[in-house]
Chain A
Amino acid sequence: MTDDLDFCAREPIRIPGSIQPHGCILVVDPDDGRVLQASANAASFLGIPSEDWPAAVAALLAEDDMAEGHRPWTVAGQAFQVAVHRTAQGAIVEFEEAGGGPALSLDALHPRLRRFIDRIDPMVEIAEIAAATAVEVRALTGFNRVLVYRFDDDLHGTVVAEDGDGVLPSYLDLRFPASDIPAQARQLYLTNRLRIIPDAGYQPVPIEPAASPLDGAPLDLGACGLRSVSPVHLEYMRNMGTGASMSLSLVVDGRLWGLVSCHHADPRRIAPPIRAACDFLGRIVSHQIGARERSRMATRRIALKRIESGLLVELARAPSLPGGLFANAADWMRLTGAAGAAVLFEGEVVAAGQAPPADTIRRLAAWIRQEGRGPVFVTDQSGHDLVEMEPHAGTAAGIVAVSISGIHDDAMFWFRPEVVRTVQWAGDRRKAEPGSDGRIHPRHSFDQWRELLRGRALPWSEAEIESARDVRNAIVDFVLRRAEERAALTEELQRTNKELESFSYSVSHDLRAPFRHIVGYAELLRQKEAGLDEKSRHYIGSIVDSALSAGRLVDDLLRFSHLGRASLSMTRVDMTKLAAEVRRAVEHDEPGRAIEWRIGRLPPAWGDAGLLRQALLNLVGNAAKYSRARDPAVIEIDGRELGNEVEYSVRDNGVGFDMAYVGKLFGVFQRLHRAEEFEGTGIGLALAKRIVDRHGGRIDAEGTLDRGATFRFALPARGKEDGVGGP
């Protein structure tokens, strides 16, 4: 889009070197009363020759009154309205004729203004105040049309109120592009709140000499009401069909909120007292608007704050941040008036309401972080900021994102869907209009032009953004506190682990020894006393068996506790070879058994060879043990690849188990059979499960009483993060 008036931004509008002809200026050295510069029309306008000028203004400048604004002044018997601006380049004295337009004294205007203030005081809606303002300004000034503009965040202006007599067309609800008012003109609107052009067809009057004798620079007319305006602006006015214009700035909290813009088909002068009244009125309206905006924001803030504190209470109770947010999704979204919300926390995305897919949220978070758009990122047209978001306008045209981590992409999001809007522009703002003379001219067409605005959400209010920011701070605290708690817990766990470790160490040492002694002495006794009777030999045998199994238990327990802390040495494991080894070991332990082995194709695994051998040995050992009554016992070992994992199964035709107890199978010391039927410590399956868990795999079992059991365990295939590819 071409901003056709862009070049205005470079135009020296504060120092045009000329003034409008409805007045004249003198620039006076305040020290010696010397006239430094004057507009070319000064002699004729004032009706006295230049040598009399110092005397005419001497008394004026001597007055202590430093107030800005016009006051009556008589020069050579003729009444003028004068204003003095004291600048570094001298005191600029503006003269205007006293008459012209409806002449009203400020005293006469006072009751009017009071009535107006009384009228707008109880108004709640800003639109009402704007409408009343348009009517009042038109009544004061008699312009054909008075508009009230409001600027949006993009600095486009929308006509929110209008009062007119039908001579000029209505512009109500139309939008004027930001480019119609260049940036530096906006700046001037802040310092110089009332501007008037009584005749758009005027001939500018030059200032002589052009450069200030004090500093050699062109005269700065920034504060001067008579300042000549840009020819482009005059052309713009003529194109718009207006012969005279006046505008009042509406300034709220130091920001240009809008304008009261007055137009007349023909040239029109407005006397200084009326202008002063309008200026006063503009300031009153500005304050009233500011007060309404602030009170509306405060109301919204209080409402949001209430939601926020409720949500934070819930979050503090929640076991996890995402869980707490999700459980309170309605408040979470109401916090910013969003239709959807999401949180990216420790790599996981949890979303509520209308939200884009998790991957998009992750990429968005990464983008915000990489582009340094945090910690609070706000947009109402996300597709414009990040092309990737364009297809998600339906859910996330508007985004508020707050980062909740200093290191990670972790962030919280609120989304608003696209709201397709029709905007009526005053003229097709896409049309640049280069003139035949090569200069760029302002647009001629002020015909309505409709534009369909897509990809935009309703903008987020200050209060909503602030609410997001507040909850961010609270959550950062929350996350930090959780991290601290976790650190404390980890410390506690480490301490407990250390204690357990030394405990298991002494168990291994001090508990194994007495068992060894019991067995040793019992054996010595048995050897020494050759003539023991049957019963005594049975007793000794029982002592030995009991002590042996207690010793085995200690060994198993120690092995089990080791598993929690020992680091895995991961390699590619040839499971076919491993199964053959395990088979040999089991056959060695169960000599003379008739076992029919069915070992299928076993894909290689990725894991700790020693531990995997232990796990498989426990499963196959179990299979052999519980199929002891079968002839033949059948043990099947099989494997298969399942996407990202490799699964192995060990099946037997033994005594099986009741599926009702499947949950107990892998617990430490859980046994499903009577001890005298099958020996063992009850740790074997727990050990196997722990080994599989340590590998990030899963294990389960299936059994039918008296028909056999199947144990399956799956291990993750070697992940990409290992960098070498699959096994």
Chain B
Amino acid sequence: MADLRPILLVEDNPRDLELTLAALAKCNLANEIVVTRDGAEALDYLHCRNGFAGRDPGDPAVVLLDLKLPKVDGLEVLEHVKHDPERRRIPVVMLTSSREERDLVRSYELGVNAFVVKPVNFNEFHEAIQDLGMFWAILNEPPPLPRRGS
């Protein structure tokens, strides 16, 4: 079993955040869940800078990324991660309210690992989040930690 790396949840909508956290709580995951409220903050976390300068190093097990975010939006965060040779292996799951196909297409073009349209039905939403959490946090064997200088 992989070591318990945190799950990075990027979500600006407080209700979605609450419901997602509730769903994740149901899975009894031991992973720490780090929440950032916009894309810029997410990038700060990933780069261990600004507010996250002192955090324990290491990549999150998975990034659960909302598509629509203030400042830097989900697609930009995704693009940034997938274009960064040191971070592109981090699994990114796009969570979105949108059924817009072009967002899906764009996300896959950028190398998203999964794309989930949040179901309106809470039970389905619950299942989706649980599945995601279980799969990416526990079942998915992450790539070995790169040996980083300093």
Interface residues of A (CB under 8 A from B): 505, 508-510, 512-513, 515-517, 519-524, 544, 547-548, 551-552, 555, 558-559, 562, 566
Contacts and interface: CB of A to CB of B under 8 A. Distances in A.
A519 B22 CA distance: 13
Which of A517, A521, A551, A558 counts the most B-chain CB atoms under 10 A from its CB?
A517
A550 to B, nearest CB: 8
B15 A520 contact: yes
Interface stretch (B32-40, B47-55, B94-102): B94-102
Interface residues of B, number: 20
A517 B16 contact: yes
A510 B13 CA distance: 11
Interface in B1-39: 13, 15-16, 19, 22
Which of B19, B99, B122 counts the most A-chain CB atoms under 10 A from its CB?
B122
24 contacts: A505-B100, A508-B97, A509-B68, A509-B97, A509-B98, A512-B118, A513-B16, A513-B97, A516-B97, A516-B120, A517-B16, A517-B19, A519-B120, A520-B19, A520-B125, A521-B15, A523-B126, A524-B22, A547-B120, A548-B121, A551-B120, A552-B120, A562-B101, A566-B101
Which of B13, B22, B98 counts the most A-chain CB atoms under 10 A from its CB?
B98
Which of B16, B101, B120, B121 counts the most A-chain CB atoms under 10 A from its CB?
B120
B97 A517 contact: no
A552 B121 CA distance: 10
Contacts of A566: 101
Contacts of A523: 122-123, 126
Contact of A519 (B16, B96, B97, B122): B122
Given A509-B96, A516-B120, 14 more contacts: A508-B98, A508-B99, A513-B97, A515-B120, A516-B119, A516-B125, A517-B15, A519-B121, A521-B15, A521-B19, A522-B122, A555-B99, A559-B99, A566-B101
A510 B99 CA distance: 11
Contacts of A524: 19, 22, 122
Nearest to A524: B22
SS class, residues of chain A in contact with chain B? helix
Contacts of B120: 512, 515-516, 519, 547-548, 551-552, 555
Contacts of A558: 99-100
A547 B19 CA distance: 16
A508 B121 CA distance: 15
Contacts of B68: 509
Contacts of B96: 509
Interface in B116-147: 118-123, 125-126
Contacts of B119: 516
Contacts of A520: 15, 19, 22, 122, 125
Given A517-B16, A524-B22, A512 B122 contact: no
Nearest to B96: A509
B118 to A, nearest CB: 6
A513 B16 CA distance: 8
- Please provide the 7 A-B residue pairs with the shortest distance between their CB atoms, ordered closest to farther: A551-B120, A523-B122, A520-B19, A517-B15, A520-B122, A519-B122, A512-B97
Contacts of A544: 122
B138 to A, nearest CB: 24
A522 B123 CA distance: 11
Nearest to A505: B100
A513 B99 contact: no
Nearest to B103: A505
Nearest to A511: B97
Contacts of A517: 15-16, 19
B12 to A, nearest CB: 11
A508 B100 contact: yes
Which of B22, B118, B121, B123 counts the most A-chain CB atoms under 10 A from its CB?
B121
Contacts of A509: 68, 96-98, 100
Contacts of A547: 120
A544 B97 CA distance: 18
Nearest to B67: A509
Contacts of B22: 520, 524
B122 to A, nearest CB: 4
A557 to B, nearest CB: 10
Nearest to B22: A524
Contacts of B100: 505, 508-509, 558
Which of A508, A512, A520, A548 counts the most B-chain CB atoms under 10 A from its CB?
A520
B25 to A, nearest CB: 11
B16 to A, nearest CB: 7
Which of B68, B99, B126 counts the most A-chain CB atoms under 10 A from its CB?
B99
A708 to B, nearest CB: 32
Contacts of A515: 120
Contacts of A522: 122
Contacts of A510: 97
A662 B150 CA distance: 75
Nearest to A514: B15
Contacts of A552: 120
A261 to B, nearest CB: 87
